[in-house]
Structure 1
């Protein structure tokens, strides 16, 4: 198969699983029109982030106006619609959608003066904006999220006809539109506010870095660091996909970009097709829980909690590292089991020459971390990071950001923000419903009642609900929906707020790996040429730590830095890492030599003992670990003899 055909196949695969990739492609004046609008959007956000934002409602309305205009110009209404031209109806829809959002900016002063007393025109424009938003979200993502939003609007209106536990008196159309459109409680609420500020700037930052060649540099760096070790290509996939995924914000998109390189590399050294696809899917999905960006969820979580973003990022580090440590342990044990070697060193990039040539590309990432720790807002940190990226690019001719590349970065940044913005705005309807009707507390009460007021059953019900609610949703919408619907039940039982939000985030993200939806796993299977369900099942095994660790910090939130003391934290992290090691042994069924099922069950029990808090359970887990190590050493000597 030629490289051209590979590219075409990969594009088709991405469009199959990543709805945001199903945009029209032009090569005439229409392409230039899209470029002008997209670049203008990026310039607006770049300027306002550096020199002063508009008032909240105005900033969000301009952001949504750009987004909806681009959606109707870029995304066809149906799969069989023309992909190389924009029909006149979509020009009209783009204009109507744009004006329905800009109406709030144009008439801002008069709307403020008559707050709470909307005119008929206000209501009509609100109705149009809601309809246009739902259609735009359907086009750029899928019908799932708009249908959920419509259900919640119906619930606002017909609340008196719902089961008693969820009943309310019902609200008029005028009241619903006023709440959802003419304030910051609905469409233009916190989710869209985060999209219009922090999220857009970090997406733009990633787009600028991409044009400097950071993606290839990260893969080369991972190859230099881990390519020669046992099962090196799989470790390269874990490192590179984790780093890229933490910036890109989309697990499926990351699978389709880094996966086209890492999956064939894993297969070339002897990993099975489904295992290679699963490793890439798990590593890319883990990027959604890895700071700094966390699929934009970190910024929204900080807003919901009312704490600085850096606190959320710091709290997320240990759980994310445990997740990746578990994956790395399993790929190492699998490689040892199969006798797989790393790549020859002569075929790998040399670390020091690589750092000398392109190491400066790491400066903007290090700079952003510094600015965040130093107390800068994420918005200012991202602005400074973009400026640093542009400056650093000129130190190496290969990384130069020429005017053409910079314009491409600004266009791709705007395109990359479309899906997140539509999801945030649409989810604003769900959040608005919760604030208007008190639905979140009603659901929380129902979950706690079903679980008998016990924390463990409540966590298990919440896990299932998050996986179901998160199926097929982008990370940002996923987190907002699960945090609005599921987290209040955990609050009622005394779970620390940040631990509760992390819990719902982890299991919402797990939907990308869990069949039957499992978009990331199926995308990996497509590239690997593997059975989708087998790949999904393997992905769940590899991500097992991601299914267990959230329970641990729900009971013992010191892992997310709640009630932090250095000694207890060190013990919790140390025992958790040993527990994750045992978990990897149990999952792969190998340590020194193959392990029979009864020993794998013992390893799983020991892992759980080490993961859960408690002195006695830690001693039991350590005893299991030492005992299994000694037993497997003896068994391996017998095999060799």
Structure 2
């Protein structure tokens, strides 16, 4: 297949807008981008409050509360102007100007008339309904032109359900939804924060934009090139070095990038030609870059914007999201490095040449460990420094810390001035070699300081220091990045004694402005996507649509959790082919997360909500390289000149290891570091890493030598034993002792405080009347009898012979949402506690790691006899 579009064109069409309509239109789009970025910085700062207090004009502060309306107005205007429709790429037709005016007016209507709207909640006027209908229409058109048809179709289907679902007896019997009038629905979607302007758009406004802007500024200032060159200098000389460098550089840029397509082009423009030069085929070179770039969204702190949505949807602190997502992301990337290494072994490839001393694999590991420990040491020193100053200047230790930060920046820029500036190399040059590490690293080490500021504010917490919110963390990191972008060039000119200070200062300002523009352009798709996803979420709250989808999926899966997970994975992949990752995550998690948790509870498996959300998110990401639509694969193929379908197929083959992880952490939450201490976390990491590397070897058909079929089967058994050791322990020793009737009450009274008890409730379904079961976990917080302990958490139990009749939990008690909203406590069949399960004292499940490792060592021994080349 011939690729006719350049990778840059694909990024423009998919992410940033491909219209080039002359000087006036380009200037207008540019001005709107700059204004949007500056507006987002303004509302994230303390300026609105300061200006309101200084001038007495409340509008300065009120705009923050109205920010999501202005945010969507910018997104709709830019989507309409920057993304052509009907092929009008070189001009902006009259209907687009009309759509811009209508779209912006419908959003700002909510700002201008906010007081009148607040005085008549739910009593929508004719103008309210007209503006809502216009806004919804223009939004869906903006989504179509910037993201394509799939999200428009899905949102339209949910709108149809809202308007016509009341005519269906089946829908009504499941959801008790009697239908909605046009005015009620429009008001629900547009005039309040239940629909378009809901949680998703709010997160896009307050958090996502700042992180995307931070990444854009870092890229335009030269940080992206620094990442690539450091990765090449570290790994370029190893076997298949450019491919390994592609993985590392994509991980580093992916941490702060919200787009797998842009990530593919940013790093792939340099790494793909290098991979081809050392012997990778066009398709494999593109596939490595695609797998690396899509997986960049798995890596905290940004995670393609999903991390911030999880904070709202799962209702846990941001630092907890990062903690749960960290281990699977690291394991996935190390496994991808290993896959690249195995491909290099099969192809007998070499690395790039390099001037000076070569760095071996052990030295690279030592450098990584040293860097990690060095960052930890710096963090400890700064924390200690502020702790010492806290009694002297309480609440003001940030100012000496800023002085330290400024000194560190000046020192690193001074060091960088001693080396040549990092330039973007031509990967197609006749002679390409890996750069030396020291001048490359020191030549741009100051780019790491804004990232340090970001991570510090997000994660560091002590007795005297509180973590900042993600929004504030991103704001201060962005301010630090702006300072770097504006000053690093002129400062280096001063330190070098050059006379080009003015030119370098101008170049820094150009980088800053380009970053503001790029950040806004990168947000267009996310802005309209989160608004459109709000239509789906709003329909769910209006109609109870998740119950319909949930019942259909439950019927198809037969209540089997494994089948349900496979169906959800397939649904995520299919939707993800046409939706951006963020929108796909919102849609599928809103529909399916409650269903997975419910089906798990019915089968006796307590699935943490964060595990479900990460499961959906992982498969949404995999859609970016899933044929036939995966846009990242098309972008990579445009660079490699390979077949995009073959590139996508190969990229998905590399990503099979990523597809395994979500299934594993659903059943083994140790991978998400849930209730895992530091020492056990290290142990879990190494065992999980061995399992993932073994699985990667099986997928590649090569370990130390070519894998025979029976060896592959044994290795898959090893993988299962390492990921699910509890499965084998459960076959040997019963995990729980079951108690019923009076014995169950006694057992609840006897367990120590804080020990979990699993309570299986049997009750008729609220809608169907069919008796079902659900398992909940309860841990007593104080001493007492069994009845007293249950009563303390809202579970009132009456003994009726051998039956433990359960009364409806009161609102506000822990199990009200999970039981009272699902089951009928006043039907003919009484709700009751069917069984109480107390975990037995068993041998540790980790005992099964021993036979697994022995089997793996046996495979190593057998394959070493057939080895024809060094494994590293």
Q: Same fold (TM over 0.5)?
A: yes
User: Is residue 86 from structure 1 mapped to residue 92 from structure 2 by the alignment?
Assistant: yes
- Greater alpha carbon shift after TM alignment, 279-288 vs 536-545: 536-545
Once residues 618 and 167 of structure 2 are traced to their aligned partners in structure 1, the CA distance between those partners, rounded to angstroms, is 34
Q: CA RMSD in A?
A: 2.2
For residue 115 of structure 2, the aligned residue among 109, 115, 118 is 109
**Alignment match, 2:488:** 395
For residue 200 of structure 1, the aligned residue among 206, 209, 217 is 209
Q: Specify whether residues 479 and 637 from structure 1 end up closer, same or farther in structure 2 by C-alpha distance, changes over 3 A only.
A: closer
Once residues 187 and 324 of structure 2 are traced to their aligned partners in structure 1, the CA distance between those partners, rounded to angstroms, is 37
1:322 match: secondary structure:
helix
**Alignment match, 1:504:** 616
Once residues 268 and 870 of structure 2 are traced to their aligned partners in structure 1, the CA distance between those partners, rounded to angstroms, is 37
Equivalent residues of 1:152, 1:429 under 8 A apart: yes
Question: Any residues of structure 2 matched to 1:402-421 within 5 Å, and which?
Answer: 402-421=508-527
- Greater alpha carbon shift after TM alignment, 465-474 vs 513-522: 513-522
**Alignment match, 1:633:** 864
1:223 Cα deviation from its structure 2 partner: 0.6
User: Is residue 133 from structure 1 mapped to residue 226 from structure 2 by the alignment?
Assistant: no
Equivalent residues of 1:57, 1:183 under 8 A apart: no
Q: Specify whether residues 234 and 42 from structure 1 end up closer, same or farther in structure 2 by C-alpha distance, changes over 3 A only.
A: same
**Alignment match, 1:237:** 246
Question: Any residues of structure 2 matched to 1:176-575 within 5 Å, and which?
Answer: 176-346=185-355, 347-374=433-460, 375-393=467-485, 394-397=487-490, 402-492=508-598, 493=600, 494-575=606-687
Once residues 320 and 163 of structure 1 are traced to their aligned partners in structure 2, the CA distance between those partners, rounded to angstroms, is 45
Equivalent residues of 1:26, 1:85 under 8 A apart: yes
Once residues 74 and 637 of structure 1 are traced to their aligned partners in structure 2, the CA distance between those partners, rounded to angstroms, is 56
Once residues 209 and 414 of structure 1 are traced to their aligned partners in structure 2, the CA distance between those partners, rounded to angstroms, is 14
- Greater alpha carbon shift after TM alignment, 458-467 vs 282-291: 458-467
Once residues 619 and 533 of structure 1 are traced to their aligned partners in structure 2, the CA distance between those partners, rounded to angstroms, is 42
1:57 Cα deviation from its structure 2 partner: 5.8
Once residues 460 and 584 of structure 1 are traced to their aligned partners in structure 2, the CA distance between those partners, rounded to angstroms, is 20
Once residues 199 and 310 of structure 2 are traced to their aligned partners in structure 1, the CA distance between those partners, rounded to angstroms, is 10
**Alignment match, 2:71:** 63
Over residues 379-408 of structure 1, what are the superposed CA-to-partner deviations in whole Å (9 max), with x where a residue is unaligned? 111111121112234234478663333222
1:33 Cα deviation from its structure 2 partner: 1.9
Equivalent residues of 2:589, 2:613 under 8 A apart: yes
Equivalent residues of 2:577, 2:629 under 8 A apart: yes
Once residues 556 and 684 of structure 2 are traced to their aligned partners in structure 1, the CA distance between those partners, rounded to angstroms, is 31
Equivalent residues of 1:549, 1:611 under 8 A apart: no
Once residues 310 and 487 of structure 1 are traced to their aligned partners in structure 2, the CA distance between those partners, rounded to angstroms, is 21
**Alignment match, 1:11:** 8
Over residues 432-462 of structure 1, what are the superposed CA-to-partner deviations in whole Å (9 max), with x where a residue is unaligned? 0011111123322432343233322221121
Q: Specify whether residues 636 and 314 from structure 1 end up closer, same or farther in structure 2 by C-alpha distance, changes over 3 A only.
A: same
Once residues 59 and 633 of structure 1 are traced to their aligned partners in structure 2, the CA distance between those partners, rounded to angstroms, is 63
Equivalent residues of 1:180, 1:187 under 8 A apart: yes
Once residues 230 and 526 of structure 2 are traced to their aligned partners in structure 1, the CA distance between those partners, rounded to angstroms, is 29
Q: Specify whether residues 339 and 409 from structure 1 end up closer, same or farther in structure 2 by C-alpha distance, changes over 3 A only.
A: same
1:8 Cα deviation from its structure 2 partner: 7.6
1:58 Cα deviation from its structure 2 partner: 1.2
Over residues 474-524 of structure 1, what are the superposed CA-to-partner deviations in whole Å (9 max), with x where a residue is unaligned? 111011011112211112123101000000000111111222322222332
1:22 Cα deviation from its structure 2 partner: 4.2
- Greater alpha carbon shift after TM alignment, 403-412 vs 101-110: 403-412
Once residues 854 and 542 of structure 2 are traced to their aligned partners in structure 1, the CA distance between those partners, rounded to angstroms, is 54
1:360 Cα deviation from its structure 2 partner: 0.1
Once residues 331 and 403 of structure 1 are traced to their aligned partners in structure 2, the CA distance between those partners, rounded to angstroms, is 39
Once residues 163 and 548 of structure 1 are traced to their aligned partners in structure 2, the CA distance between those partners, rounded to angstroms, is 40
For residue 39 of structure 1, the aligned residue among 27, 30, 34 is 34
Q: Specify whether residues 59 and 639 from structure 1 end up closer, same or farther in structure 2 by C-alpha distance, changes over 3 A only.
A: closer
2:310 match: secondary structure:
helix
Once residues 357 and 514 of structure 1 are traced to their aligned partners in structure 2, the CA distance between those partners, rounded to angstroms, is 38
Once residues 414 and 337 of structure 1 are traced to their aligned partners in structure 2, the CA distance between those partners, rounded to angstroms, is 44
Over residues 517-562 of structure 1, what are the superposed CA-to-partner deviations in whole Å (9 max), with x where a residue is unaligned? 2222233233222233332222222112211111111011122122
Once residues 336 and 127 of structure 1 are traced to their aligned partners in structure 2, the CA distance between those partners, rounded to angstroms, is 60
Count of paired positions? 631
1:119 Cα deviation from its structure 2 partner: 0.6
Once residues 607 and 195 of structure 1 are traced to their aligned partners in structure 2, the CA distance between those partners, rounded to angstroms, is 39
Once residues 446 and 215 of structure 1 are traced to their aligned partners in structure 2, the CA distance between those partners, rounded to angstroms, is 46
1:54 Cα deviation from its structure 2 partner: 4.5
Q: Specify whether residues 428 and 267 from structure 1 end up closer, same or farther in structure 2 by C-alpha distance, changes over 3 A only.
A: same
Once residues 396 and 351 of structure 1 are traced to their aligned partners in structure 2, the CA distance between those partners, rounded to angstroms, is 21
- Greater alpha carbon shift after TM alignment, 559-568 vs 179-188: 559-568
Once residues 431 and 503 of structure 1 are traced to their aligned partners in structure 2, the CA distance between those partners, rounded to angstroms, is 19
Which of structures 1 and 2 has the bigger CA Rg? 2
1:333 match: secondary structure:
helix
Equivalent residues of 1:229, 1:343 under 8 A apart: yes
Equivalent residues of 2:21, 2:91 under 8 A apart: yes
Equivalent residues of 2:575, 2:584 under 8 A apart: yes
User: Is residue 618 from structure 1 mapped to residue 849 from structure 2 by the alignment?
Assistant: yes
What is the TM-score of this pair, normalised by structure 2? 0.70
**Alignment match, 1:3:** none
1:209 match: secondary structure:
helix
Equivalent residues of 1:224, 1:348 under 8 A apart: yes
1:72 Cα deviation from its structure 2 partner: 1.7
Equivalent residues of 1:57, 1:184 under 8 A apart: no
**Alignment match, 2:760:** none
1:292 Cα deviation from its structure 2 partner: 1.1
Over residues 60-81 of structure 1, what are the superposed CA-to-partner deviations in whole Å (9 max), with x where a residue is unaligned? 1011111111222222222x21
What is the TM-score of this pair, normalised by structure 1? 0.94
User: Is residue 148 from structure 1 mapped to residue 379 from structure 2 by the alignment?
Assistant: no
Equivalent residues of 1:49, 1:383 under 8 A apart: yes
Once residues 870 and 708 of structure 2 are traced to their aligned partners in structure 1, the CA distance between those partners, rounded to angstroms, is 14
- Greater alpha carbon shift after TM alignment, 426-435 vs 404-413: 404-413
